[in-house]
Amino acid sequence: MKSVQWHDTHITILNQQALPHKTEYLELKNIKDVWDAIVTLKVRGAPAIGMTAAYGLALAAKSYETDDLAQFHAELKRDRDYLASSRPTAVNLFWALDRLMKSVAHAKSVNEAKTTLIHEAICIQVEDEDVCRRIGEHALSLFQDGDRIMTICNAGAIATARYGTALAPFHLAKEKGMTLHAYACETRPVLQGARLTSWELSQAGVDVTLITDNMAAQTMKAKRISAVIVGADRIAANGDTANKIGTFGLAILAKAFNIPFYVAAPLSTIDLQTKTGDDIPIEERAKEEVTHIGGVRIAPDVNVYNPAFDVTPHELITGIITEKGIIFGDYETKLPTLFEEVFA
């Protein structure tokens, strides 16, 4: 199942807002459709957001009528900034857009630039599938047959090109005939764990148990949880990690129960320009996400604080799992080394 697909005249995305009730694909025909799909969470998950934004920029560029390269680059920068304004926390969005911008910096003609943008966006998606599989292989080396592993939000196949990041070891374990038991936190207020992770894993035949977020401590104790694994939207240079709201709380509980807490993410999620978690912008979303469920009001009209993400301090993270391998502690020193071959 592809979360994002490129077509010559449009982009097709899996509408994650419609899950689990129906499997629906939407056609994004212009840059405004792409921006709206990202903002309204029809497409979500840091890698999927990056892929969609990249395709969106390539799609927008196809419509430019100018043959002047300077004008082309001016219009491209405008649309890059527009797409970048959709969501502030997931660094993959900016990484993908900037990668496309760099790919056409030395284009000799507008036609060459348009073709290059499409090619680069497709490469991002193809590479992401390989990256996610490698993340899954490294993560799976940490677990034993029969382990019970807790996760939050959805860092799965529908949030990436394939396999996912935090959910990749579950998919790969299934392929290899190994049993991992997933415990999925529902992930209030938008319920990505309930709607998406439990759906995705059950569709794949993975044993998954759904819990409410406030059941996490009791579940860790009663069900003897082996580990916690989560995705990431941005990892700072010191290892502080921004992820879906509730992740920080899970890390604190894991520490209390002496359970390893792992972050699974591609190199594109690591932001060495952001020194610590205090420098990561935290998106705040509409109050209706908290006061309503399925369009039905469940709370009176009061003040609401609705941060979409929180930041887990690096000292609570046992290891960070990337396509290049797993690093344990001393992240400020070790994270930059992951990029040495990439930039060589």
Q: 156, 182 in Cβ contact below 8 A?
A: no
* 244 labeled part of a ligand binding site: yes
- For residue range 125-166, list pLDDT tens digits in order: 999 999 999 999 999 999 999 999 999 999 999 999 999 999
- Residue 195 CA to residue 193 CA, distance in Å, equals 6
The residue assigned the tokens 């899954």 is 136
261 beta partners = 228
- Residue 145 CA to residue 90 CA, distance in Å, equals 33
**CATH number, domain with residue 268:** 3.40.50.10470
Q: Are residues 334 and 202 in the same domain?
A: yes
% of the chain with per-residue pLDDT over 90 = 96
pLDDT at 191 over 60: yes
- For residue range 252-277, list pLDDT tens digits in order: 999 999 999 999 999 999 999 999 99
Q: Are residues 115 and 207 in the same domain?
A: no
Q: Are residues 127 and 261 in the same domain?
A: no
- Residue 311 CA to residue 314 CA, distance in Å, equals 9
CA dihedral 217, 220, 221, 224 (to 10 degrees): 180
Mark which of 83, 106, 131 sits at the end of a domain.
Answer: 131
Residue 149 counted as domain residue = yes
If you average pLDDT over residues 54-63, what whole number do you get?
Answer: 98
Tell me the pLDDT of the chain averaged across its residues. 96
- Residue 59 CA to residue 172 CA, distance in Å, equals 33
Specify the pLDDT at position 344: 43
Give the total number of structural domains in the chain.
Answer: 2
Residue type, 289: E
Residue type, 49: I
**What kind and span of H or E run contains 110?**
helix 110-140
Q: Are residues 231 and 297 in the same domain?
A: yes
**What's the pLDDT band for 337 if we cut at 50, 70, 90?**
very high
Specify the pLDDT at position 220: 98
Q: Which residues are catalytic?
A: 233
Residue 344 counted as domain residue = no
If you average pLDDT over residues 283-302, what whole number do you get?
Answer: 96
Q: Are residues 185 and 164 in the same domain?
A: yes
**CATH number, domain with residue 100:** 1.20.120.420
Q: Which residues, other chains included, contact 163 with Cβ-Cβ below 8 Å and sequence gap of 6+?
A: 129, 132, 133, 135, 136, 156, 157, 171, 172
* 45 labeled part of a ligand binding site: yes
* 44 labeled part of a ligand binding site: yes
- For residue range 61-119, list pLDDT tens digits in order: 999 999 999 999 999 999 999 999 999 887 899 999 999 999 999 999 999 999 999 99
Domain containing residue 28: 4-131
Q: Are residues 122 and 8 in the same domain?
A: yes
Specify the pLDDT at position 342: 59
Residue 8 counted as domain residue = yes
pLDDT at 1 over 80: no
Q: Are residues 218 and 306 in the same domain?
A: yes
Specify the pLDDT at position 58: 98
Q: Are residues 277 and 312 in the same domain?
A: yes
* 192 labeled part of a ligand binding site: yes
Residue 234 counted as domain residue = yes
Specify the pLDDT at position 90: 79
Q: Which tokens sit at 114?
A: 């348009």
Specify the pLDDT at position 123: 97
Residue 281 counted as domain residue = yes
Residue 90 or residue 309, greater confidence: 309
Residue 215 counted as domain residue = yes
* 125 labeled part of a ligand binding site: no
Q: Are residues 291 and 194 in the same domain?
A: yes
Mark which of 131, 165, 200 sits at the end of a domain.
Answer: 131
Q: Which tokens sit at 292?
A: 């309503």
> Do the strands 11-14 and 148-151 form a parallel or antiparallel pair, or are they unpaired?
unpaired
Mark which of 131, 159, 176 sits at the end of a domain.
Answer: 131
**What's the pLDDT band for 294 if we cut at 50, 70, 90?**
confident
pLDDT at 240 over 60: yes
Residue 203 counted as domain residue = yes
Residue 208 counted as domain residue = yes
Q: Are residues 49 and 153 in the same domain?
A: no
Q: Are residues 206 and 91 in the same domain?
A: no
Q: Are residues 172 and 312 in the same domain?
A: yes
Please state the pTM of the whole predicted model: 0.91
